[in-house]
Amino acid sequence: MSEVAVAAASTPPVGKPRRVLVIILLSIITFGIYGLVWIYKTFEEMKEYSGKGVGGWVGVILDIVIGFVIPFLMASEVGKLYNGDGKENPVSGWTGCWVFLPLVGGIVWICKTQWAMNRFWESKGAPAA
């Protein structure tokens, strides 16, 4: 096996940066269904990259059963990706507290968490959102 093939095989898959406005609008238009898709994809990409975390289906099940944990868990896992890379994390489990702010808190949480994910994936070579 060539050195290039070995390097490609050992490189974890990079997630896809997503536009925050698209996430919010599609979630509204689909009455929350796209929100579940976003949760699945985000948790799944993080688990595929790091080998750690809850993964897509567990993330969706947690959202359906005890949804209030998702903002804390997702932001925490994003922060752990940064820490695992030796970088200062822009979000942590505490970022989930934004959802307690009526009306705009959930939007702030999505923005902060997804922007952090986008910057992380872009630092790994993913095309900009």
The amino acid at residue 12 is: P
Residue 16 in this model has a pLDDT that exceeds 80: yes
Stretch 1-10: mean pLDDT: 56
Of 50, 94, 44, the closest CA to residue 71 belongs to: 94
Residue 68 lies in a domain: yes
pLDDT of residue 75: 97
Residue 81 lies in a domain: yes
Backbone angles phi, psi at 63, to 5 degrees: -65, -40
More confident residue, 6 or 104: 104
Residue 41 in this model has a pLDDT that exceeds 90: yes
Residue 3 lies in a domain: no
Stretch 95-109: mean pLDDT: 95
d(CA 18, CA 20): 6
Residue 12 lies in a domain: no
Residue 22 lies in a domain: yes
Is 91:113 a contact under the CB 8 Å cutoff? yes
Residue 4 lies in a domain: no
pLDDT of residue 1: 54
Range(s) of the domain holding residue 32: 18-123
pLDDT tens by residue, 21-32: 999 999 999 999
pTM of the prediction? 0.89
Of 69, 66, 59, 68, the closest CA to residue 36 belongs to: 59
Q: Name the band, by pLDDT with cuts 50, 70 and 90, for residue 17.
A: very high
Number of domains in the chain: 1
Q: Which residues of 68-82 are buried (b: 16+ CB within 10 A; e: fewer)?
A: ebbbbbbbbbbbbbb
Q: Name the band, by pLDDT with cuts 50, 70 and 90, for residue 10.
A: confident
Residue 128 lies in a domain: no
Sign of torsion, CA 28 31 43 9? negative
Residue 8 lies in a domain: no
Task: Give me the residue label for tokens 């790091």.
Answer: 50
